[in-house]
Each structure stands twice: as structure tokens, then as C-alpha cells.
Amino acid sequence: MYTYRAEVIRWVDGDTVIVEIDCGFYVKRTERIRLARINTPEMNSKIARTVRAAKHARMIANKFCPVGSIVKIETYKNKQDMYARYIAEIWFTGVNCSDYLLEVGVGVEV
């Protein structure tokens, strides 16, 4: 398992976030990260109700961990999904983002 410090750049939807990862030695890398253990509605759905639910999930995630926040990312070597996003646990102020989103009911556990 690898642990990094990162800054939230943008929430894509409730379970995907773009972060700037501090790799050390003045090296930073921007990555699209998928939250582990959770699934929220997708923004690119053709069903209006699903898009509204996805926007709501993104709003809740952004309220909990706003843009510019410093987070801790825990990931495993070469663990990616089918869209080449790294799957990771993200911690903000000592709280796991996946657990928080499950607790407030905007996502389902995978």
C-alpha cells in the first residue's frame, strides 16, 4: 500500500475525484482517482433522475471535502479500474470519504 498527500482539484461525480498528488522531491502529478468500495450514480446517464442523483452525490462530496482540501490517499500498486483510474481510499480530516458517502446515503457499497 502507498500513501500520498494530495490536493483536491475537482469532483467529477460522487465517487471520482481529480487530485494533484505530491510524490515528493518537488514532483506533483494530477490523477483521476476512483473511491474504493463505493458506487454513486453516473453523470453521463441519459435518465434525468440518475443525473440529478449524480449531481447531488457530487455536491455532498464537494461539501464534505471541498476543492483545495489537502487529503491523504492510500492506494495499492497497479490497482486500476477499466477506465485506468487508480482505486484508492481517500481520507479528509481523519474521516474516510467512502465511509462518509455511504453513511449519508448517496452511494452503495460495492
Hey, what amino acid is at 75? T
Report helix angle 97-104 to 48-64, nearest 10. Answer: 130
- The domain tally of the chain equals 1
Inform me whether the pLDDT recorded for 81 exceeds 90.
Answer: no
CATH number, domain containing residue 26 = 2.40.50.90
Domain that holds residue 25: 2-109
* Cβ atoms of residues 74 and 87 within 8 Å: no
28-58: per-residue pLDDT in tens?
999 999 999 999 999 999 999 999 999 999 9
Helix or strand (DSSP H, E) at 29: strand 27-35
Q: Residue 33: CB partners within 8 Å, gap ≥ 6?
A: 16, 17, 18, 19, 73, 75, 85, 86, 87, 88, 90
Q: Is 84 left (phi over 0), alpha (psi -120 to 50) or beta?
A: left
User: Is the pTM value of this prediction over 0.85?
Assistant: yes
> How does residue 79 score in pLDDT terms, banded at 50, 70 and 90?
confident
